[in-house]
């Protein structure tokens, strides 16, 4: 168990809908990262938050957004969902910016039908 908790584990929704994925980092970790794992794109970095502020952005679509709350949990919001958004979404956490070890949650499997 990595200590990173993601909910829900599975999510099935229709095209055009909006969903929210939640991540609770390991106790004491200030950085949260979101990754998308799909069959055609592999594992891709989406976005990083550190202590409530956005720190780095990767290949995140404009339809997607994230935030990190004062209690350090994070949410990834996906809107106007398309079939191609079906993927496994991972959250990872680490103690601080620059620390290069990440601990991953078990992921949320999103299926868009």
Partner 1 sequence: AQSVTQLDSHVSVSEGTPVLLRCNYSSSYSPSLFWYVQHPNKGLQLLLKYTSAATLVKGINGFEAEFKKSETSFHLTKPSAHMSDAAEYFCVVTPSGSARQLTFGSGTQLTVLP
Can you give the binding site for partner 1, defined by CB under 8 A?
A: 2, 4, 31, 33, 35, 42-45, 48, 55-56, 58, 90, 92, 94, 97-107
Residue closer to partner 1 (CB basis): 30 or 79: 30
CB 42 to partner 1: min, Å? 5
CB 75 to partner 1: min, Å? 18
- Cβ(60)–Cβ(44) under 8 Å? no
CB 107 to partner 1: min, Å? 6
Residue closer to partner 1 (CB basis): 22 or 103: 103
* Strand ranges inside the chain, DSSP E: 5-7, 10-13, 19-24, 31-38, 42-50, 53-57, 64-68, 74-78, 87-94, 103-104, 108-112
Nearest C-alpha neighbor of 109 from the set 26, 32, 29, 19? 19
């Amino acid at each position: 168990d990595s200590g990173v908790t993601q909910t829900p584990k599975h999510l099935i929704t229709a095209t055009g809908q909006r969903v929210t994925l939640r991540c609770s980092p390991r106790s004491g970790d200030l950085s949260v990262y979101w990754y998308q794992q799909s069959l055609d794109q592999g594992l891709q970095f989406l976005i990083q938050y550190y202590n409530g502020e956005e720190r780095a952005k990767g290949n995140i679509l404009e339809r997607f957004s994230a935030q990190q709350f004062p209690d350090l949990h994070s949410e990834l919001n996906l809107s106007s969902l398309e079939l191609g958004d079906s993927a496994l979404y991972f959250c990872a956490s680490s103690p601080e910016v620059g620390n290069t070890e990440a601990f991953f949650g078990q992921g949320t499997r999103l299926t868009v039908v």
